[in-house]
C-alpha cells in the first residue's frame, strides 16, 4: 500500500514537472499573453472573488523576465470584449512596440492578435500595462511585472516583486466600481481605491529568515494613489529608481514616496530581532501607518557585514549637457479649484467650461489632449531641458515614454527616472537626451488626468 502511494506520488511529481516544461516552440510561434476576463481573490477571504481583466488568467499578470540585452517576444491575444494594447513601461524600446493605441499602433480588437518583439537594453524593474483606455483597463487589472536581470546579479538571498495598488470595490460584492467616468475623480486627485493591497491581494505577506538580504522591487500600479512608505525590521538601501541604478546606493532612512508608475529597488537586510516584526508600512488615508506588506519571519542567518554594492550602470546614462540643451517649458493647468484656463481642444481655442462639457479638465502647455502636432519636435541626439510648472492644486506623476530623464535641482542632475512627481504649485525641471527616434507620449500617470487632458507627445527623428 505504502509502495503504491509512493509510486503514485512520484508519478504525480513526474507529470507536474512535465507540465512545467516550456512548451515546444515551433518556429515563429511566440508565447501568448492572453488578455481575458478572470476572477481574483483581491479582498479578504470572507468576500467574493473579484472579476478582473487579466493577462493569462492571472492578476497581476505573469512575471515577464529576461536577461539584459535579450529579446522579449509575446503575442497579445485579445480575448476581452474591448480593444486593447500593451505598453512596456520604462523600457527604452523600439517605438513600434511601445503599445500606445492611436499613436504607435492601432488598438488590437477583440479576437485579434499582435506580436510584441523587442530588445531590452536596460536591466531593472519595469512593468507592463494596457495602453488603450488605460484609466479603466489598468484599474480592471491589466498589468504585470517586467523584470530585466543584470548580467551579474547582485548578492541577495531573495528577489521579490511587490506591485502596490488600490481598488475601488463595492463593499458588499467586492466587484470593481464600473463608473470610470466619475467627474469628481477626473477633475480632482484621480480615482482612489477603498482597498489597498500588494500583488493583487489585500493583506499580502512574504516569508523570510532573519538576517537574510532581500531585493524588493516596489512598483506603484495604482491609478492615482501616491504611496508614502517606511520600513520596520528591515534595514538597507535604495539601489535603483524607475529601473535605473543609482551610482551610489542610498540608505533608506526616511519615507519612500512612490507616485503612480514609479518603481524603487531596495536591497535590505532583515534586521528584526527575535520577537520583533518586519514590515513595509504605508501612510494611510486616515494618517495612520498601516501594514502594506508583512513578513512571516523564521530562523536566523548571520547578517552580512558589507553594505550593498551599487548595481552595474545601464548603457546611455551619461548626464545631459545642460549648456547646449534646448529649453522647453510646459505649464500644467486645470482641474477643480484651479484657474480655469482657456485651452485648445481638437484644434479649437475654448473656455474652460466648454472644455469641461467636452470631457476635458486639464491642459498641458495650453492644450487639452492629443493633437496632430507634437508638443516638441526633437532631432535624434538633441539635449533638452523641460521646465514643468504645476499651476494646479493637485500632484501629477509625469511620465515620458522611450527615454529616461533627470531632474535638475540647483543645476545638479538627479538620478535617471521615467516618472516625476510634480507637487501642487511647484516648478520642476527635467533634462534628457532625445536619443530614441519615434513618437513618444508624455502624460500624467494619474490615469484619469491623462484621459481628460494631460496627455501630449514629442517626436524624435
Tell me the DSSP string of 234-253.
Answer: EEEEEEEETTEEEEEEEE--
Please tell me whether residue 396 binds Cu ion under the rule CB under 5 A: yes
Size of residue set near ligand C2O by CB under 6 A: 10
- Strand ranges for 316-403 from DSSP E: 326-334, 343-345, 348-350, 362-364, 376-378, 382-390, 396-400
Nearer to ligand C2O, 145 or 249 (CB): 145
449 contact, one of ligand C2O, Cu ion, none, CB 5-8 Å limit per kind: Cu ion
Nearer to ligand C2O, 399 or 406 (CB): 399
Task: Output the smallest distance, CB 95 to ligand C2O, in A.
Answer: 13
Cell of 64: 515577464
**Residues forming beta bridges with residue 132, ordered by sequence position:** none
Please tell me whether residue 367 binds Cu ion under the rule CB under 5 A: no
Dihedral angle, C-alpha 67, 71, 75, 76, nearest 10 °: 70
Please tell me whether residue 401 binds ligand C2O under the rule CB under 6 A: yes
406 contact, one of ligand C2O, Cu ion, none, CB 5-8 Å limit per kind: none
Nearer to ligand C2O, 43 or 430 (CB): 430
Please tell me whether residue 416 binds Cu ion under the rule CB under 5 A: no
**Residue 345, number of CB atoms within 10 A of its CB:** 18
Size of residue set near Cu ion by CB under 5 A: 4
- Select from 192-200, 226-234, 346-354, 440-448 the region that touches ligand C2O (CB under 6 A): 440-448
Alpha-carbon distance 141 to 154, whole Å?
A: 31
Task: Output the smallest distance, CB 163 to ligand C2O, in A.
Answer: 13
Please tell me whether residue 444 binds Cu ion under the rule CB under 5 A: yes
CA-wise closest residue to 166 among 130, 220, 234, 127:
220
Greatest Cα pair distance in the chain: 83
Please tell me whether residue 404 binds ligand C2O under the rule CB under 6 A: no
User: Binding residue for ligand C2O (CB under 6 A) from 74, 89, 225, 385?
Assistant: 89
**Residues forming beta bridges with residue 254, ordered by sequence position:** none
404 contact, one of ligand C2O, Cu ion, none, CB 5-8 Å limit per kind: none
CA-wise closest residue to 163 among 55, 293, 296:
293
Please tell me whether residue 446 binds ligand C2O under the rule CB under 6 A: no
Task: Output the smallest distance, CB 294 to ligand C2O, in A.
Answer: 28
- The conformation of residue 323, written as its DSSP 8-state character, comes to G
Alpha-carbon distance 434 to 412, whole Å?
A: 19
CA-wise closest residue to 130 among 92, 170, 83, 197:
83
Task: Output the smallest distance, CB 133 to ligand C2O, in A.
Answer: 12
Cell of 164: 502596490
Alpha-carbon distance 264 to 252, whole Å?
A: 11
Task: Output the smallest distance, CB 336 to ligand C2O, in A.
Answer: 23
- Select from 82-90, 345-353, 371-379, 393-401 the region that touches Cu ion (CB under 5 A): 393-401
Instruction: Give the helix ranges, DSSP H, for 371-410.
Output: none
User: Binding residue for ligand C2O (CB under 6 A) from 59, 72, 87, 104?
Assistant: 87
User: Binding residue for ligand C2O (CB under 6 A) from 188, 213, 417, 443?
Assistant: 443
Note the residues at the interface with ligand C2O (CB under 6 A).
Answer: 87, 89, 129, 131, 261, 399, 401, 441, 443, 445
Note the residues at the interface with Cu ion (CB under 5 A).
Answer: 396, 444, 446, 449
Amino acid at each position: 500500500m505504502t509502495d503504491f502511494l509512493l509510486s503514485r506520488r512520484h508519478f504525480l511529481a513526474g507529470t507536474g514537472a512535465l507540465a512545467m516544461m516550456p512548451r515546444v516552440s515551433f518556429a515563429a510561434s511566440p508565447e501568448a499573453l492572453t488578455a481575458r476576463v478572470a476572477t481574483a481573490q483581491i479582498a479578504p477571504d470572507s468576500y467574493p472573488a473579484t472579476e478582473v481583466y487579466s493577462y493569462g488568467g492571472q492578476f497581476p499578470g505573469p512575471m515577464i523576465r529576461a536577461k539584459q540585452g535579450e529579446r522579449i517576444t509575446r503575442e497579445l491575444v485579445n480575448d476581452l470584449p474591448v480593444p486593447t494594447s500593451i505598453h512596456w513601461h520604462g523600457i527604452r524600446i523600439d517605438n513600434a512596440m511601445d503599445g500606445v493605441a492611436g499613436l504607435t499602433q492601432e488598438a488590437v480588437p477583440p479576437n485579434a492578435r499582435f506580436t510584441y518583439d523587442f530588445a531590452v537594453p536596460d536591466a531593472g524593474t519595469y512593468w507592463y500595462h494596457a495602453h488603450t483606455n488605460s484609466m479603466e483597463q489598468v484599474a480592471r487589472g491589466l498589468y504585470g511585472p517586467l523584470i530585466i536581470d543584470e548580467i551579474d546579479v547582485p548578492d541577495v538571498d531573495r528577489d521579490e516583486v511587490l506591485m502596490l495598488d488600490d481598488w475601488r470595490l463595492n463593499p458588499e460584492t467586492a466587484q470593481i466600481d464600473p463608473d470610470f467616468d466619475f467627474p469628481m475623480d477626473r477633475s480632482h486627485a484621480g480615482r482612489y481605491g477603498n482597498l489597498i493591497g500588494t500583488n493583487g491581494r489585500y493583506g499580502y505577506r512574504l516569508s523570510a529568515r532573519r538576517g537574510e538580504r532581500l531585493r524588493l522591487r516596489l512598483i506603484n500600479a495604482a491609478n492615482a494613489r501616491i504611496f508614502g512608505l517606511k520600513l520596520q525590521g528591515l534595514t538597507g538601501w535604495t539601489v535603483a529608481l524607475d529601473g535605473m541604478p543609482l551610482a551610489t546606493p542610498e540608505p533608506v532612512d526616511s519615507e519612500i514616496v512612490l507616485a503612480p508608475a514609479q518603481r524603487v529597488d531596495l536591497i535590505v537586510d532583515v534586521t528584526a530581532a527575535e520577537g520583533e516584526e518586519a514590515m513595509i508600512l504605508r501612510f494611510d488615508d486616515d494618517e495612520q501607518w498601516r501594514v502594506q506588506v508583512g513578513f512571516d519571519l523564521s530562523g536566523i542567518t548571520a547578517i552580512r557585514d558589507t553594505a550593498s554594492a551599487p548595481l552595474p550602470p545601464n548603457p546611455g546614462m551619461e548626464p545631459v549637457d545642460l549648456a547646449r540643451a534646448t529649453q522647453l517649458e510646459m505649464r500644467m493647468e486645470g482641474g477643480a479649484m484651479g484657474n480655469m484656463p482657456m485651452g485648445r481642444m481638437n484644434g479649437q481655442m475654448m473656455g474652460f467650461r466648454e472644455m469641461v462639457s467636452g470631457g476635458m479638465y486639464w491642459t498641458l502647455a495650453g492644450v487639452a489632449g492629443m493633437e496632430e502636432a507634437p508638443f516638441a519636435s526633437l532631432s535624434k541626439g538633441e539635449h533638452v531641458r523641460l521646465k514643468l510648472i504645476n499651476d494646479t492644486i493637485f500632484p501629477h506623476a509625469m511620465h515620458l515614454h522611450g527615454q529616461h530623464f533627470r531632474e535638475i535641482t540647483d543645476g545638479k542632475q538627479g538620478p535617471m527616472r521615467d516618472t516625476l512627481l510634480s507637487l501642487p504649485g511647484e516648478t520642476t525641471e527635467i533634462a534628457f537626451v532625445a536619443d530614441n527616434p519615434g513618437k513618444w507620449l508624455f502624460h500624467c500617470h494619474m490615469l484619469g488626468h491623462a484621459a481628460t487632458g494631460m496627455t501630449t507627445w514629442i517626436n524624435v527623428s
